[in-house]
Amino acid sequence: MRTVASDDHRSHHSTELDRGRLGPSWERPERADLILEAIASARLGPIVPPAPLDRDLLARVHDAEYLTFLESAWDRWAAEYDAPAAMGIAWPSRRLGRQRPEDLVGQLGYHSFAADCSIVSGTWMAATTSVAIAQTAAQIVADGDPVSFGLCRPPGHHAMSDQFGGYCYLNNAAVAAQLLVERGATRVGILDLDHHHGNGTQDIFFARPDVAFCSLHADPLQRFPWYLGHADERGAGAGEGYSRNLPLPLGTAAFAWMDALDHGLSWLEGIGIDALVVSLGVDTSIDDPISDFALATADYPPVGRRLAATGLPTVIVLEGGYATETLGPNVVGVLDGFLQRG
């Protein structure tokens, strides 16, 4: 198994507003470093750098105006404000207009949906490298490898076509799926295993039949992102029937979570997919400081074995997971299980 990784992620460490307190984000550089160290120690296979990002591929997933905004936001902010992070203060919520403002602070609100996600000097470089990692991991599989792992940081599954939030700026899993479609897959399945619903990925593919999306996550009536991820969201237009959400109650233990995983995999296989992209969040761990499921480290190798049992070409990209002591072992557990080593 080839792991795609880069040190560029270290340029990004944002600020978030969390339950009334402004401070460093839970999504911090040490996450990727701990996982990379665990992968190297487990000798899972070569660790390779990403190929250059295909900007045209990225633009087929994200809105062009949004990409221009995101690339320029920090320089514009630094020219106007003496503050360490660029953040919006108002969002176009219910009964507010949807016209894009000209002012930078207004645009920060227009192009985001949560105050847990700010822009700093290294955000654009880290986010584009993270997408390049996913693109390269998908290319490895498209070229014939059965599986690859993209150590993506920042994560991506909350990023919509023109909005960032939930620690995510560009949608890594969506770019991986788009590449596989363009390389000949008839239909790609995206399986989101993060504790939180992959609202961005769902939004990008909601009206498309060539990418099916399935997510296991905490009930959005109780947890972030709150406004998407309900069981009745099944796609629209040509994509009707190609989205499946499996919301789970807080405190869900491994046996119930595994049942949902089996259901999701069965659904994806039943609608006919010929490649799989896995948004792997290990914030399902009982140790995770900001999540509410109860998987133990020993539960992660069986997850990998279930994924491998599909026999599908599989791209695994990193999403969430914030329990630093068990983060590396949990990710390695999934990868080990896929390789039938764990």
The residues annotated with a catalytic role in the active site are 158
Q: Give CA separation, 300 vs 56, 93, 291, 310, 329, in Å.
A: 36, 38, 16, 17, 9
Q: Could you give the CA distance from residue 182 to residue 18 in angstroms, rounded to a whole number?
A: 39
Contacts 24+ apart (CB under 8 A), 179-182: 179/57, 179/135, 179/138, 179/139, 179/142, 180/138, 180/141, 180/142, 180/275, 180/277, 180/313, 180/315, 181/210, 181/211, 182/57
Q: Strands 211-218, 188-192: parallel, antiparallel or unpaired by DSSP?
A: parallel
Which residues neighbour 309 within 8 Å (Cβ) at sequence distance 6 or greater? none
H or E element at residue 182: helix 172-182
72 token code pair: 């320029």
Q: Could you give the CA distance from residue 212 to residue 206 in angstroms, rounded to a whole number?
A: 8
248 and 231 Cβ atoms separated by less than 8 Å: no
283 token code pair: 């914030």
SS3 assignment, position 188: strand
Q: Could you give the CA distance from residue 315 to residue 170 in angstroms, rounded to a whole number?
A: 17
Tell me 173's DSSP state.
Answer: H
| φ/ψ of residue 266, rounded to 5 | -65, -40
Q: Could you give the CA distance from residue 272 to residue 176 in angstroms, rounded to a whole number?
A: 18
Which residues neighbour 155 within 8 Å (Cβ) at sequence distance 6 or greater? 27, 130, 166, 167, 168, 172, 281, 318, 319, 320
